[in-house]
Amino acid sequence: MTPILFIDRDGTLIVEPPDQQVDSLEKFALVPGVIPALLRLRDAGYEFVMVSNQDGLGTPAFPRERFEPPQRLLLQLLESQGIAFRELLIDPHHEGDPAGVHTRKPAPGMALHYLRDRSIDLARSAVVGDRRTDLEFAARLGVGGFLLGADGCDWAAVAHALCNAPRTAMVVRSTRETRIEVALDLDREAPPRVSTGLAFLDHMLEQLGTHGGFAISLHCAGDLQVDEHHTVEDCALALGQALREALGDKRGIERYGVGEAETPMPSRTALVMDESRADAALDLGGRPFLVFDGNFPRERVGDLPTELVAHFFHSFCQAGGIALHLSVRGANAHHMVEACFKAVARALRPALRRAGRTLPTTKGTLA
């Protein structure tokens, strides 16, 4: 079955000018990132259909001879890169024109034949546009929708969402002691965004995302006026829950590495920071367990009590369904704690890896 990407034109493929009418070559400019994204989508099996409202096309206010040159240039540029459209659907009616009530977006009339075509994979199909009416058009077709622009996303995000089938999760955990919001994308690397009120914990959580190879956003408002315990524990629980939800049924993940004898072995990493060394081995199979071996020479590193390091990983494992064996040796407590977090992150990276690319099977909206 073939997935279809229904693509708006002005503001989506071509930059929309202030007068909202691309009626000359001087006004022509491609939207940034469109060609690389379409190439990725084409290689992932998508076919493209242009669906565009062109107000008054064919009237004296917008004659076809002014529409055709930019349209031809657009098609030629894309075709030169190996990008072709399965169909061009253009509606010429003005908003409110009774003649276009069933065909002008967001009405689905122009694309109804795709809903009747059993060779089309509607579950993976989507609409890309720059207006809310494009999202409404997607909803009426029963497919996912992506909104481009300052209030939405860019073409790279569209390609990422459709080609990578990203494993994402957002968790909000609210108790009497803390309120935590955490978002994960296991298939995208991005600068981590962490704010817990504990500067050293922020630094450690950033290491998990940076060295684990995934995007993490975590914000915590906790009862630090009492002590650090609830903030550390609840951040670990929320993060573990988000990881578990993002992994879903875990289908296709490496889960752990393979030893020399080709028997399942935990994903294992040793990490050295000067005089300190941390060893981490983990299994994402769903059975939580922590074995921690290490003694820190100081009671605190910055604003983080070192006694809470093992407690953090215990809570993380319980919520995430992770079996983790973690040991650390050293003389500098800062190096030892940081080595622990980096070692776990480095063990997570191969365990999270998918053995093969999986295309999405569910609909969604990124707006």
Q: Are residues 138 and 196 in the same domain?
A: no
- Residues tagged active-site: 8, 10
Residue numbers of the domain that contains 134: 4-163
Tokens of 245: 């939800």
Q: Are residues 29 and 48 in the same domain?
A: yes
Q: Are residues 99 and 188 in the same domain?
A: no
Q: Are residues 135 and 251 in the same domain?
A: no
> Sign of the C-alpha dihedral, residues 235, 237, 240, 241?
negative
- Name the band, by pLDDT with cuts 50, 70 and 90, for residue 252: confident
53-87 per-residue burial string, b: 16 or more CB within 10 A, e: under 16? bbbebeeeeeeeeebeebbeebbeebeeeebebee
Instruction: Count the domains in the chain.
Output: 2
- Name the band, by pLDDT with cuts 50, 70 and 90, for residue 266: low
Give 17-30 pLDDT, tens digit per residue.
998 889 899 999 99
Tokens of 169: 């999760």
CA distance readout (Å), 178 to 150, 194, 219, 240, 267? 32, 15, 10, 16, 32
Please state the rounded mean pLDDT for residues 92-104: 92
pLDDT beyond 90 at 230: yes
Q: Would residue 367 count as lying in a domain?
A: no
Q: Would residue 222 count as lying in a domain?
A: yes
Q: What is the mean pLDDT of the chain?
A: 90
pLDDT beyond 50 at 7: yes
Please state the rounded mean pLDDT for residues 196-204: 97
Give 155-176 pLDDT, tens digit per residue.
999 998 888 777 889 999 999 9
